[in-house]
Chain A
Amino acid sequence: MSEALLIKDKEIAVPGEIIAQGMGFVPNKGVFRDGDVLVASKLGMVSVEGKVVKLIPLSGKYIPKAEDKIICQMTDVLLTGWRVDTNSPYSAVLNLKDATNEFVARGADLTQYFALGDWIVCKVTNVTSQKLVDISTRGPGLHKLQGGRMVEVNAYKVPRIIGKDASMISLIKNATGCEIIVGQNGLVWLHGAPSQELIAAEAIKKIEAEAHLPGLTDRMVDFLKQKTGKTPTMNEQHQTTEGSES
């Protein structure tokens, strides 16, 4: 059987589409082998590195990954911790020892730290093969979110929303004066004046919709200028509180 790459690097594959033929290629994330062909299991962009073929997904829910900074909501208070919703098919457990440095007596009321419905920025510490997820709120920039609102976006567009060295997000922050925190799980937390938050939310939705088109930064500068009436500036000092580009 001849070896051939049917879908080239950086092209789009749909689930079930045959990407490559022959045993010369190795399947990676989002790709599986069926006989002597490689098949796509997701909608995504094909990425070929040497013999390894993988898919960079373009849609679908977030899947927890260790070291990701995500935004979660408390769904249950347990005996020694909390169960949180990670905006993914898998819930996570925040253990008390990963939540605070304080000494907590046995039987203490845990809702003084986090109550039902509270949002937190946290870090995924471990994901087992069975998708049991552990998270932590101990670390720089990890904390409870006071008030504000949430905007949900496609988790795979998050790198574009943050931008290179957090350039895109600082653009929106400076233009609208809102506090913005982007979680890798596709939740974006906004806090500011209602009129400015609406502009920020619209800007984020615009980036999500146009993430694949070139010249995005220029269009966003124009958009924010038109909405706020002033030229937004990029500021490199704001990057510490965001998740990094993956």
Chain B
Amino acid sequence: MNNEQKKHLITYLANGTRYDGRGLLEWRPIHVETGVSQSAEGSARVRVGKTDIMAGVKLALEKPYGDTPDQGNLMVNAELYPLSSPKFETGPPGEQAIELARVIDRGIREAKTIDVKKLCLKSGEKVWSVSVDIVTLNDDGDLMDAGALAALAALQAARFPGVKEGIVDYGERTSTPIPIDMHPVTVTVYLIDKYFVVDPLPEEEEAADARLTIAVDEHGMVRALQKGGAEKLTIDQIDKMVGIAVKKAPELRKLIK
């Protein structure tokens, strides 16, 4: 995107509108669907406008880490499939895929979403390991918020498989959900010129000077932050962005209840 194209985009923002006619702090229609995969213990598909992303939860019995013998494990992985955008290539995960996974992981982990102590079967020997896999089906902007929402929806929908003599029986599905204490959702606020925007279109992501991804729990507490983009943010700007995120988060959370 060159300077003239960016200037044109900013005239829209100055008029309080965007390329698809939305307000600056308005979301596109969001659809959350759970139980989309039969082989995963929990799964969800989130569509934000034309953005389409899927999350799956697998549960396995593993040996705990040495420093946390009585806690279950959480792993989040993300893959940006080439079918979802011409910008994504096959091969080892790139910077964007790793950042997506790390930011979603951090939001879930730091909010203490899962009560990891309840995932312990036998201290030091057997704990449940929760792995969340996120795959993109179409990238039309705002993968982070959509991915975090899908991950949480999939965790909520997950049910433990049966266990027979210490071995997991994936054919059996119990009715026990994963112990979830908190429901953090992430809101990414983009700064373009002097305007704040949520749920960006690809053009807006390209034009953005900076972005701040903010994970907010149901008490309006900020649980994790991730700053991106080339420009710096002032304390005043961060304050405003966090304010926007805290205000917008309940809109996302009510979609997965």
Contacts and interface: CB of A to CB of B under 8 A. Distances in A.
B21 interface: yes
Contacts of B1: 117
A194 B10 CA distance: 10
A117 B5 contact: yes
A118 B5 CA distance: 9
A195 B19 CA distance: 10
A146 B19 contact: no
B21 A198 contact: yes
Contact of A115 (B2, B9, B11): B2
A119 B4 CA distance: 11
Interface residues of B, number: 14
B5 A194 contact: no
Contact of B9 (A118, A149, A198): A149
A146 B5 CA distance: 8
Contacts of B15: 194-195
B219 interface: no
Interface in B4-19: 4-5, 7-9, 11-12, 15, 17, 19
B12 to A, nearest CB: 5
Interface residues of A, number: 15
A8 to B, nearest CB: 35
Contacts of B9: 149
Contacts of A201: 19
B248 to A, nearest CB: 23
Interface string A91-117: 000000000000000000000000111
A149 B17 contact: no
B203 interface: yes
A148 interface: yes
Contacts of B2: 115-118
Contacts of A117: 1-2, 5
Contacts of A118: 2
Contact of A194 (B7, B17, B203): B17
A194 B15 CA distance: 7
A115 B5 CA distance: 13
Interface in A131-189: 146-149
Interface in A63-117: 115-117
Given A148-B4, A148-B8, 12 more contacts: A115-B2, A116-B2, A117-B2, A147-B4, A147-B8, A149-B5, A191-B8, A194-B12, A194-B17, A195-B15, A198-B21, A202-B21
11 contacts: A117-B2, A118-B2, A119-B5, A147-B5, A147-B8, A148-B4, A148-B5, A148-B8, A149-B19, A194-B12, A195-B15
